[in-house]
Amino acid sequence: MKGHSNKTNKGRSLTGAKLKNIPDPEKVKVFKCPSWMPDLGRAWWEIVAPQLIQLQILTELDRGTFETTAMAYALLRKAGEQLVDDGFTITGDRGEKRHPALGAYKTNVEIFLKGCERFGLDPQARQRMDITIPKKEKTQIEEFNEKFRVIK
């Protein structure tokens, strides 16, 4: 009985079958962070986007979702800094109440984590997406540390 194959690309490559949904690396477009993005979101974008583009996970079609994730990162960091400076409560006319930044922090953490999951930025998501992160070459310091590791 013939049916739908649930093999991953890794499984297909082992059997010699044709791989599915593999974009042509020559056609992958690099797109820049929008000018309106806050500095913290821009910094996250510049670190993460090139790696996702290289892995062919991030494309122009994902721009809106990726922008939302980068903005959520910037906002959660800003709210987190404000909470560290001010504490979790503020004093107003009616006494102490919860700091408004606490809600902003919580909301943006949820948005950020969902966005990260969509782009394979946690181990479970990478496993579901069948993503293999290429190993980088070891630095001279790492090689030195491996050769002369002190055993305790």
Alpha-carbon distance of 48 to 101, in angstroms, equals 26
Alpha-carbon distance of 61 to 52, in angstroms, equals 13
Helix or strand (DSSP H, E) at 129: helix 123-129
Q: What is the pLDDT of residue 74?
A: 96
Distances 29 to 24, 32, 48 between C-alpha atoms, Å = 10, 10, 15
- Cα dihedral sign for 90, 96, 100, 106? positive
Q: What is the pLDDT of residue 8?
A: 55
* Chain-centre distance for alpha carbon 99: 28
Domain boundaries, the chain: 25-132
Asked if 49 and 58 touch (Cβ cutoff 8 Å), the reply is yes
10-residue averages of pLDDT along the chain (152 residues):
53 54 57 92 93 87 94 96 93 90 96 94 83 68 67 49
Alpha-carbon distance of 67 to 58, in angstroms, equals 11
Alpha-carbon distance of 82 to 73, in angstroms, equals 14
Q: What is the pLDDT of residue 31?
A: 79
Alpha-carbon distance of 10 to 18, in angstroms, equals 11
Q: What is the pLDDT of residue 17?
A: 58
CB-count exposure of residue 65 (10 Å: 0-12, 13-18, 19+)? middle
Q: What is the pLDDT of residue 151?
A: 52
> 0.75 cut: is pTM over it?
no
